[in-house]
């Protein structure tokens, strides 16, 4: 029985690793608007809340004021996660939320402004993700990201831009994960799967912030702008594991 229990726990670990692999966010549509050979290294990174364009596809189980609060929560959490993730790369990060603060950024200064838009958010179904998974009730989050060089006189065009796309994808649920596991390991699996699948778009926000930050760090590194002792992250591209 101990051997069976050990095998069951091992399988749970494998499944949880699989969850991480199935749930991912990747960078797409990378574009550079900078053609000059000389760059200004930023001394600070400013993070502005991502907006919601009129044509954004927002699917959530709410409307009216509740939907507005849901969108505000998305903005606040992504900003917080971005500030945290960007902080790993050694350049000071400052969130910008007040209109007065934004007006001050019009002056030329050696900084980058990171902003963008949510183009698609699908809240999915927590119940279906927990029970079935494998795409049922899956979440989806897509953004367009633009980074501006505040030292430039003309800021109509971003220094670089890209999009992100990802979600819960094919994570298995409780029913599709139990299979032949021993009864003693099933409760642990149920708790593990439920905790992973229950987060929904909150986990998408964290993954999106990490991949945005990794892409920004790649751009900093390519320009020789990462502080000593800091290495760039690696943003996932479509088709990569």
Residue 41's alpha-carbon distances to 94, 109, 128, 223, 227, in angstroms, are: 16, 10, 47, 7, 10
DSSP-derived 3-state class of residue 36: coil
Tens digits of residue pLDDT in 26-85: 999 899 876 555 678 999 999 999 999 988 888 888 889 999 999 999 999 999 999 999
- Residue 215 makes CB contacts below 8 A (sequence gap 6+) with 27, 30, 145, 162, 233, 235
Q: Output b/e per residue, 43-56; b: 16+ Cβ within 10 A.
A: eebbbbbbebeeeb
CATH number of 25-222: 3.40.50
Q: Which of 63-72, 88-97, 100-109 has the lowest mean pLDDT?
A: 100-109
Tens digits of residue pLDDT in 164-191: 998 876 555 545 454 555 455 445 444 4
Closest by CA to 89, choosing from 212, 236, 222, 217, is: 217
Euclidean distance between CA atoms 90 and 162, whole angstroms: 22
Write down the mean pLDDT value for the chain. 78
Closest by CA to 20, choosing from 174, 170, 138, is: 170
Euclidean distance between CA atoms 63 and 77, whole angstroms: 20
Euclidean distance between CA atoms 112 and 145, whole angstroms: 13
Q: Give domain limits for the chain.
A: 25-222
Predicted local distance difference test score (pLDDT) of residue 199: 56
Predicted local distance difference test score (pLDDT) of residue 183: 53
Reported in sequence order, the residue ranges of 16-79 that DSSP labels E, i.e. its strands, are: 24-32, 44-48, 57-59
Predicted local distance difference test score (pLDDT) of residue 18: 46
């Amino acid at each position: 029985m101990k051997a069976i229990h050990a095998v069951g726990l091992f399988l749970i670990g494998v499944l949880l690793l699989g969850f991480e692999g199935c749930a991912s966010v990747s960078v797409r549509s990378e574009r550079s608007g900078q053609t000059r050979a000389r760059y200004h290294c930023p001394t600070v990174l400013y993070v502005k809340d991502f907006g919601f364009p009129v044509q954004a596809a927002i699917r959530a189980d709410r409307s009216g004021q509740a939907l507005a609060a849901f969108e505000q929560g998305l903005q606040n959490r992504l900003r917080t996660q971005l500030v945290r993730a960007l902080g790993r790369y050694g350049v000071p990060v400052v969130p910008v939320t007040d209109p007065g603060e934004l007006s001050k950024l019009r002056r030329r200064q050696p900084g980058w402004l990171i902003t963008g838009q949510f183009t698609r958010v699908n809240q999915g179904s927590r119940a279906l993700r927990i029970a079935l998974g494998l795409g049922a009730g899956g979440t989806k989050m897509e953004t367009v990201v633009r980074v501006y060089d505040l030292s430039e006189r003309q800021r109509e065009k971003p220094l670089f831009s890209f999009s992100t796309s990802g979600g819960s994808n094919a994570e298995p649920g409780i029913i599709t994960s139990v299979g032949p596991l021993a009864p003693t390991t099933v409760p642990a699996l149920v708790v593990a799967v439920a905790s992973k699948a229950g987060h929904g778009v909150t986990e998408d926000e964290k993954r999106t912030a990490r991949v945005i930050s990794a892409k920004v760090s790649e751009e900093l590194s390519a320009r020789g702008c990462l502080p000593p002792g800091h290495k760039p992250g690696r943003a996932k591209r479509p088709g990569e594991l």
